[in-house]
Structure formats: C-alpha cells, structure tokens
Structure 1
Amino acid sequence: MNLKEIISGHVVEYFEGQHRYVVDGQIIPSVSDLCKKAYPNRYKGINQNILAHSIKRGNYLHNQIESFERHNVMGSSIEFKNYLKIKETLGFDVKQTETMVLIKYQNQVIACGRFDLLVEINNELVLIDIKRTRDYHEKSFTLQLNLYRYGFMQNNPKPITALKVLRLRDSEAQVLDIPIDESLVEEILQKYVKPQFELITDEPVQNTQTILTKQDKQPILMVWIGLGILIGLSLLYNYLVKF
C-alpha cells in the first residue's frame, strides 16, 4: 500500500514495496536507515532467508493489529491475542495507527518514518511500536522511537510523554519502556545536516562597486591632468612670445 500525505507543507510519499520515502520528488532516508547506520551490526550473522521470513511474520502481525484498530477485524494468532491482553492491562485507547512523520532539523528534511500506535493512557500521549524480534536491541529501539517522537512533535502541539515497545513473538509478550533521549536525537541528526553557503550581503557588494567606481575615474582624472598641463604650457608660451 502506497501512501501520500502533506506534512509541514511537503508532499511525502511512501512506496511500500521498496520501503522508500520521497519528499517533494526527492528520495529521503527512512528512520530505519538512520538506525541501521548508527548501529550497523544489529542483524550481523543472521541468515538472509531467516531474516526475510521474520520480516514477513512481523508484517503479518502488524496487519492484524492495524485491521483490528481500524476496522475491528479480529486476528487469530497467539501474538495478536497477547496484544489484546497487553492493551487491556495497560488500559490504552488507540488514537492513531501507522502514523507517518517527517523529520526536519535546522530547516532541512532529514528523514521520514511511520510508527505503529499513538495511544492515550491517563490523558497522556504514548508512542508504541510493535516488535517481533528475538532480541531486545535497546540502543536501536531507543533511537528509533525517539526519532519518531521528535518528528511527530514538530507538527503537533500535545507532547508525547512516554515511549514503549510491545515485543510479541510466538507466546512471548513484553512491554518495554524506552527512555526519552532528546540529546541522542540531536547528536544523530547533526550528522545529516548539509552545509549551506552563506548568502552575500549588500555591504561587500557596495564596497566592490565603490572600488570599481574609483578605478573607472582614474583614466578620466589623468586626461584632465594632461589637459591642464597643455593649457598651462600654452599660456606660458603665449606669455613668452609677447615679451
């Protein structure tokens, strides 16, 4: 499913098959791309077939949860049933699913992404991401959810006050609290800011024009000096001839 939204005046497109974001016609990195570059060894050594199978099962779980929250369609997997149990235990009310965010830093578009759930718990907004990973990748999860939070809050007045990962894998079910770390977001985003050349102000341009004007006047001045000398000599000659 491809998506298209207007965020902060930018046209944001998501192409699911390629997992690609395009903003105003330009390909932009995803939040996942930034996390992979920050922590490149997360899936090192895992067989690609196993990884592809895990991604497929993860997508299936996400689709079940989204179908339930949007259309009240019940899923059948043990992982989906564990999701319902966690939802009841935490008592959260789902406000948004598959929310797309645009991340800007120093007035530059850096990345785009989508997080799974925006929920309300005790009148507070909480960002939740669903994971089906075997291991808990704390650093990567922390960066990922904090980037989502940063992007969301750039365009929404109500702050997200908590981050959580629901890890659902077969019969395993965990709720993991992720710390809010704004300094980590700043550190990562600074690496992607492209240098901008300073605009030329009016002052140096005026100085240049002044210099050019003086240079243009020099030949004219020399002509006047030459004429003055000739006139002086002519007058002196006439004076000498008379006397």
Structure 2
Amino acid sequence: MKQIKLKTSKVKFIEETHQYFLGKKELKGITGTLINKAFPNTYKGIPENVLMKAAERGGMIHQAFELFCTVCDADIKSYPSPIPEVCDFSDMLQAYDLHHIASEYIVSDDENFASAIDGVFADGEGNLYLADYKTTATLHYDNVALQLSIYARWFERMNPKLKVKELVCMWFKNGQSKFQPLARVEDEKIDELISAYLSGDEEYRYEVAIPERFSALEQEYRLVTARLELLKMQQDDIKEQLLKMMEANKQKSIKTSYGSYAYVAASTTKRFDSKLFKEENSDEYEKYLKESESKASIRITLTK
C-alpha cells in the first residue's frame, strides 16, 4: 500500500485541560458546541455522575486502542492481556483490511473549532476511513455521522490531495461491538449549523431527512455490496488461475481434502428463445404461462 502522509495541524492540544489553541487563541471542540447544538437532548435526564463515569471508561478504551495501533502495530499477539474491546477492535481492522495511519489526529477550521479524530485508517486499496470510537449505551447514528462529517471536511481541507472514502463508528458496549459505516452530511448543512451556533440562533433546528436507522442500514448495505464485488473479482481471478493450471497439466479432475475440481471443456449449447416464441406465437405462449405469487421485496440501485 502506498505510504500516506498527513499534514500536521498548527493547533496545539493541552491534554490536561482538554483545550485547543491556535497560537494564543483558544478554539472550541465540537462535541459540546456544534453537536450539542444539533442534538441538545441526547443525554437529557442522565445524571452527571453517570456521564462522568461513562466518559472515564470511554477514555480508557480510547487509550487502549491508541496503544494497540501505535505501540503494538495493531498486532494482537503483541498486546499484553488485551481487554475484550481491544480483541473486538482488532477483529474489525482485520475484517475490513484496515491499516492504521494516525490516532487522535487534530483537525480544525483554523478559526473557531478544533477536534481530534480518534482513528485514521486506510484499506488495502488506499481508501481512507475516519473512525470514531463510541462506548455509549446507545449508538446515536445521526450524532456520530455529523461529527465525522465535520471532521472529514476539515481533514480534506488540510490534506487537499486526499479524499475520505468512509466514515465509520466503532461501537463497544457490554461485550457487544459494531462496525457502523455512516452517511456523510452535506457541507451546506454543516455551514448552516456553524452559522447558527456562532450567531446564537435560538430558532435553529437541525433537520434529519432520513430516519437514522434506515441511513445506517443503507451504509452497511453499500459497504457490504462493495466488499462482495471485490471478493467476487478475487474469486473469479482464482478460478481462472485454477482453470489454466488444469488445462496446462491436462487434468480432467482434481480431488483434495477440501473439495473436488472438474474441468469442463468449452462447448456450444442451445437455449429456448422465449422472447422470439412470444412474438411469433403469442396465443400459444399465453397458454403455457403459469401464475405464481412472490413475496414483497425492495429494489435497490446504488448511485455511489
């Protein structure tokens, strides 16, 4: 895979106080500002001590993932006594062929806001994934989609030659885990949100046109479809290699402990042309039609 180099932000992060500075100017993180402006009731009614405890646990898991990627080079065998979340995280990276590029990568609009992307990854084809790690009781799809979309926008501004392929939430809670691709929010909606926050617009409402669960499933379907297409290409290539080997060795069949392989020579076959038959014998065609019932289904056409 081609080496991917990321530009380093001029923004400095003070970990002890969780502050971002561009020179002497303090910038705001987006979770408590823009995301809270869009979704003000996400944690409404949850006691402060519960939120703080959850944040501590989340911070511990974030650190474990960063250690796993940077010090252990994402090799689970090199990680001493990994917690279940690290094992699940490792499985995700392997399943999607993701390679670590950066952890806690700072992005900013260089004016008002700055935040750190939990993980930047690339697959074997060099496609870039921005990941956010969540350990909340509920996976809030729309919140994370907006958060990662803002990150992606600033990431691409900082790295104009790079394009983000996927936004992904990696969610871990109580022994469960989920690799959730998310839809990217349009720049126009992000601009409207930023403007409303900076102007203190109390009338502003962030609108979500598509139900979050539908959008989440759509992204899963799209990503699975892309992976299946790639696997099908790889499968066809392997079958072609096996065919050529059998032809070269003049082998009609091969049997192994895993399966059997039969060489089928090229041939010419005949098939019934139902379309032509219908055109020339419409009355006869109708006589042989048989009614059958079909279940409800969905027709999906992916545009990108």
Q: TM-score scaled to structure 2, two decimals? A: 0.57
In the alignment, what sits opposite 1:113? 115
Check whether the contact 2:129–2:165 (CA below 8 A) recurs between aligned residues: yes
Contact 1:103 1:150 survives alignment (8 Å)? no
1:152 lines up with 2:155 in the alignment: yes
C-alpha contact (below 8 Å) 1:101/1:112 kept by paired residues = yes
SS of the residue aligned with 1:98? strand
Task: Measure, in 1, the Cα distance between the counterparts of 2:100 and 2:189.
Answer: 27
CA distance in 2 between partners of 1:57 and 1:134 (Å): 12
Task: Verify the 8 A CA contact 2:34 2:197 in the aligned structure 1.
Answer: no
> 1-side partners of 2:127 and 2:35: how far apart?
27
Q: Which residue of 2 aligns with 1:163?
A: 167
Answering whether residue 178 of structure 2 is matched by residue 179 of structure 1, we say no
| CA apart distance, 1:110 | 2.5
In structure 2, stretches of 5+ residues that fail to align are 1-6, 73-77, 200-304
Are 1:110 and 1:192, in contact at CA under 8 Å, matched by a contact in 2? no
Q: What residue is the counterpart of 1:29 in the other structure?
A: 28
The whole-number CA distance in structure 2 between the counterparts of 1:117 and 1:61 is 13
**2:287 corresponding residue in structure 1:** none
Aligned to 1:132: 135
Count of equivalent residues: 183
Q: Is the 2:30–2:115 contact (alpha carbons within 8 Å) kept by the matching residues of 1?
A: yes
Alignment check: 8 A CA contact 1:110 1:189 kept: no
For the 8 Å contact 1:102–1:151, the answer to whether it is kept is: yes
CA deviation after TM superposition for structure 1 residue 31, in Å: 1.6
Q: SS at 2:109's partner residue?
A: strand
Q: Which residue of 1 aligns with 2:289?
A: none
Per-residue displacement from partner, 1:156-179 (whole Å, max 9, x unpaired)? Answer: 021102100000113101011110
One-letter identity of the residue aligned with 1:186: D
Which secondary structure does the structure 2 equivalent of 1:46 belong to? coil
**Distance in 1 separating the partners of 2:197 and 2:51:** 28
Query: What value does the CA root-mean-square deviation take over the aligned residues?
Result: 1.9
Deviation track 1:20-54 (CA, whole Å, cap 9, x = no partner) reads: 21222122111212211221111111111111111
Task: Report the secondary structure of 1:110's partner residue.
Answer: coil
The match for 1:100 is 106
Alignment partner of 2:137: what SS?
coil
Scaled by the length of structure 1, the TM-score of the pair is 0.70
Residues 28 and 114, structure 2, Cα contact 8 Å, conserved in 1? yes
Q: Greater Rg, structure 1 or structure 2?
A: 1
1:63 to partner: Cα distance: 0.6
- Structure 2 letter corresponding to 1:190: S
1:91 counterpart (89, 97, 122): 97
Q: Partner letter of residue 111 of structure 1?
A: F
Cα distance, 1:129 vs structure 2: 0.9
Q: How does 1:208-223 map to 2 (within 5 A)?
A: none
Q: Contact 1:79–1:171 (CA<8 Å) still a contact in 2?
A: yes
State the shift of 1:97 in Å: 1.1
Contact 2:128 2:164 (8 Å CA) reproduced: yes
User: In structure 2, how many angstroms separate the alpha carbons of the residues matched to 1:6 and 1:142?
Assistant: 24
* CA contact 2:146–2:184 (8 Å) conserved in 1: no
Amino-acid identity (%): 22
Q: Partner amino acid for 2:106?
A: M
Q: Distance in 2 between matches of 1:94 and 1:6?
A: 16
> What is the alpha-carbon distance in structure 1 between the residues aligned to residue 18 and residue 60 of structure 2?
16
Q: Which gives a bigger RCO, structure 1 or 2 (Cα 8 Å, sep 6+)?
A: 1
Pair 1:51 & 2:56 matched: no
Which one of the candidate residues 184, 187, 193 is aligned to 1:188?
Answer: 193
Q: 1:140-189: per-residue Cα shift (whole Å, max 9, x none)?
A: 11110011111111110211021000001131010111101223222222
Question: Per residue, is there more strand in 1 or in 2?
Answer: 1
Are the aligned partners of 1:143 and 1:184 in contact in 2 as well (CA < 8 Å)?
no
What secondary structure does 2:153 align onto?
helix
Aligned to 1:82: 88
Q: Does 1:14 align with 2:13?
A: yes
